Each structure stands twice: as structure tokens, then as C-alpha cells.
Amino acid sequence: MSGFTDQVAVITGASSGVGKAIALRLASEGATVCLVGRNRERLEAVADSARATGPRVLTYQTDLAADESIRNLRASLEGDFESIDLLIHSAGVISLGQIESAQVEDFDRQYRVNVRGPYLLTQCLLPMLKARRGQIVFINSSVVLQAKANVSQYAATKHALKAVADSLRQEVNPYGLRVLSLFLGRTASAMQAAIHQLEERTYQPEFLLQPDDVATIIVNALSLPRTAEVTDIHIRPAIKPD
């Protein structure tokens, strides 16, 4: 066991990709992990893997686009735990399209899942995080650095998420909480496979960031002594070999 023994971690988007990798890594490091996602069957599959090494694993079926679902999650967590040590926002959705033709309804959904959901969930759980001088992680995107064609909606939500994290950090640092944003380049995942298909590009996951590598970076940052705070990490895939 490591320094995460007796810590409680809440991870959204835990049924696949980076969220799943983080959950499995934290469970192996001794944390109690709370898996949050929309698909219960996929959550339970991850939970089965995590229980092989973790002391305690719970699943919470939650729709981050629905305020009532988020508040129900808070009530469930308050019933199960007195406090929370880690809140990791890994859930997200993306829709591609030109501004001229993209559906505004797609923009609304991305805003609710990518911005409003993390905002409300953080607000709901802050008292439990303050009780443990906890840590909050926002999985963001390298699109914040440069918004290319066809990603205006998604990029706007990720810029907004960065603003939420930056402001939150200033508000909660005095209480001993740390806030970390990770800006990921293209990462091997089901979402990225779908994007490649839409872009009519060959999907080669071996040349993308690997979820396990991202999880390792996050766990290392969360493990730092409290004399240091990592605020922003930018990660991109290594250059393809010739």
C-alpha cells in the first residue's frame, strides 16, 4: 500500500479510457475508489478489475448532464463517507462540426457535461473535500492551446473548464486544497477512435498517449508533498518514429 491508503477517490468517466486507468491505478495504490459513469454494466466491469487489488470499490450510475443526478450522487456519497480526499473529473463528450452548420443542441450537451457538470459536482462535494484538505483534478485537452477547425464547441467548453479550475484554485488554496489541470493531446480511447473515423483518418492507438501513462503522471502529481502544488500539466504523444 502507498500514501493513498485510507483515502477516498471519486472518479467521473471511470468506465473507460483515462478515467478507468486512473481508477485502477488508485485502487492498486490502496485508495477506496468511487466509480462514476452513465453505464452501470461498464462501471461494474471496471469495479471487478479494481476489486482484485483495491480495498473497497463502489459504483455510482450518474448522468453529469442532469443536475438531479449529480445531487443524488452527492447524497449517496454523503451516506457512504464522511469525507473525500480526491475528486477527478475525467468524463467528457465531443461533437465536431463547422460553426456554420454545427447543431447548437450539440453545443448545449457538451457544455452541460464538460463544464456545468464538473462545476456543480465540485460545488456539491467541496465541504467533504475541505474536511480532508483534498485534491481536485480536471482532465482537460490540448485544444485549449489551439482551437483548430471543426472543434469550436468542444474547445469553448475546455477553455471554460480551465477558467473554472484556475478560479477554484485561488478560492480553495487557503483551505489546503490543491487543484490540478491536465491538458492531454490525442489519447488512445474509444472517443479518439470515433474522432479518427469522422476525420477519415487511420486510427493507430500505439502512436497516441496511453491512458496508463496519463494515470501514472496524475498519481505522481497527487503524491507530491504538500509543500508543492502542480497546477498545470501539458502532455502530448511522442513523435512517431521514422
| pTM of the model as a whole | 0.93
Identify whether 102 is part of a domain.
Answer: yes
pLDDT of 80: 98
Assess whether pLDDT exceeds 80 at residue 146: yes
Identify whether 241 is part of a domain.
Answer: no
What would you report as the CA-atom Rg of the chain, rounded to the nearest whole angstrom? 17
Identify whether 120 is part of a domain.
Answer: yes
How many other CB atoms are found less than 10 A from the CB of residue 90? 28
> Which domain CATH number covers 69?
3.40.50.720
Identify whether 3 is part of a domain.
Answer: no
Assess whether pLDDT exceeds 70 at residue 34: yes
Domain count of the fold of the chain: 1
Identify whether 242 is part of a domain.
Answer: no
Q: Name the band, by pLDDT with cuts 50, 70 and 90, for residue 173.
A: very high
Identify whether 110 is part of a domain.
Answer: yes
pLDDT of 2: 61
Annotated catalytic residue 154: yes
104-116 mean pLDDT = 98
pLDDT of 90: 97
Identify whether 239 is part of a domain.
Answer: no
Identify whether 216 is part of a domain.
Answer: yes
198-203 mean pLDDT = 66
Q: Name the band, by pLDDT with cuts 50, 70 and 90, for residue 196.
A: low
Least confident of 4-18, 85-99, 226-240: 226-240
pLDDT of 229: 96
Q: Look up the domain containing 139 and give its range.
A: 8-230
**In the chain, what percentage of residues exceed pLDDT 90?**
82
In angstroms, rounded to a whole number, what is the distance separating the alpha carbons of residues 135 and 189? 25
121-133 mean pLDDT = 98
User: Residues 118, 161: contact at Cβ < 8 Å?
Assistant: yes
The residue annotated as part of the active site, out of 60, 111, 154, 175, is 154
